[in-house]
């Protein structure tokens, strides 16, 4: 007799259901890597995974739901080990930050770009939870690498570093600057290193805040 679950406890997936889900996502990933996300249908994925098309719709709702699940799986496969390495006190903090950002580019940004495009460029709310988790760990590592910074300055620097490998920024660099993926990867690592190892900004170099000019017409200056 199955033991009753406490109220509010989520039901665990059966082992075979977990295996099937994993097989479907692996099949989808293989096809998308080989053919491009726009050339892969639900029928293609079902055939590759050896399941019925109805199984895909029951599991993921629609094509966008499946692609989102694949995007989340990419993160789930990488995140625990990456955060453990980012928090490892045996490695110098600057080296840990550089390693984390490089891994983020290699394991999430690059393979996730076509998936993000297929989702209209707008990841779901779950991505913000990942971002907050990464930011917390990264802020601690930045504070270790730069003990001269205040808590707020370290957090701001962590935001800057974490946003550099964003897929939209990478797309812009490829389209407008003609940079290759290898060029962008090297640039991200170099800019992160420069950000974390550079001196503090002298206060006299910080431009003053200027209020909007109040001309006779009340408009912006010409």
pLDDT of the residue at 12: 57
pLDDT of the residue at 64: 85
Q: CATH no. for residue 23?
A: 1.10.10.60
Q: pTM for the complete prediction?
A: 0.79
* pLDDT tens series, the chain, 222 aa: 445 555 554 455 566 677 788 889 888 888 888 888 888 888 999 998 888 888 888 888 888 888 889 889 889 999 999 999 999 999 999 999 999 999 999 999 998 888 887 776 665 667 789 999 999 999 999 999 999 999 999 999 999 999 999 988 999 999 999 999 999 999 999 999 999 998 888 888 888 887 764 454 555 555
Alpha carbon distance 200, 120 (integer Å): 39
pLDDT of the residue at 124: 63
Number of structural domains found in the chain:
2
> Does 48 share its domain with 152?
no
> Does 108 share its domain with 25?
no
3-state helix, strand, coil in the chain (%, to 5): 70, 0, 30
Alpha carbon distance 35, 45 (integer Å): 12
Q: Are 164 and 191 in contact (CB under 8 A)?
A: yes
pLDDT of the residue at 63: 85
User: Which two three-digit tokens encode residue 146?
Assistant: 């730069």
Q: CATH no. for residue 85?
A: 1.10.357.10
First to last CA, the chain: 80
3-state class of 151 per DSSP?
A: helix
> Does 94 share its domain with 188?
yes
pLDDT of the residue at 1: 44
pLDDT of the residue at 4: 52
> Does 53 share its domain with 141?
no
Alpha carbon distance 116, 209 (integer Å): 37
> Does 50 share its domain with 124?
no
Backbone angles phi, psi at 34, to 5 degrees: -80, -35
Other CB atoms within 10 A of residue 103 CB: 18
pLDDT of the residue at 113: 85
pLDDT of the residue at 118: 76
Range of the domain at 190: 62-198
> Does 50 share its domain with 69?
no
The residue assigned the tokens 């997936």 is 13
Nearest to 166 by CA among 89, 85, 105: 105
> Does 83 share its domain with 44?
no
pLDDT of the residue at 150: 93
């Amino acid at each position: 007799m199955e033991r009753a679950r406490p109220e509010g406890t989520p039901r665990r997936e059966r082992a075979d259901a977990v295996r099937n889900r994993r097989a479907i996502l692996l099949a989808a990933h293989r096809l998308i890597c080989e053919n491009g996300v726009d050339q892969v249908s639900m029928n293609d994925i079902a055939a590759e995974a050896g399941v019925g098309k109805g199984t895909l719709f029951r599991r993921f709702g629609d094509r966008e739901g499946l692609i989102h699940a694949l995007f989340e799986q990419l993160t789930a496969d990488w995140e625990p080990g990456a955060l453990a390495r980012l928090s490892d006190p045996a490695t110098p903090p600057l080296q840990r930050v550089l390693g984390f950002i490089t891994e983020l580019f290699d394991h999430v940004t690059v393979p996730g770009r076509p998936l993000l495009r297929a989702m209209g460029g707008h990841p779901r709310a779950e991505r913000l939870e990942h971002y907050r988790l990464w930011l917390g760990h990264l802020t601690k590592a930045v504070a270790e690498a730069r003990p001269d910074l205040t808590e707020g300055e370290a957090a701001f620097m962590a935001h800057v570093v974490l946003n550099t490998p964003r897929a939209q920024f990478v797309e812009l660099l490829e389209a407008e600057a003609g940079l290759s993926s290898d060029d962008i990867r090297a640039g991200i690592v170099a800019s992160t290193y420069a950000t974390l190892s550079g001196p503090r900004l002298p206060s006299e170099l910080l431009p003053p805040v200027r209020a909007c000019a109040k001309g006779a017409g009340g408009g912006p200056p010409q």
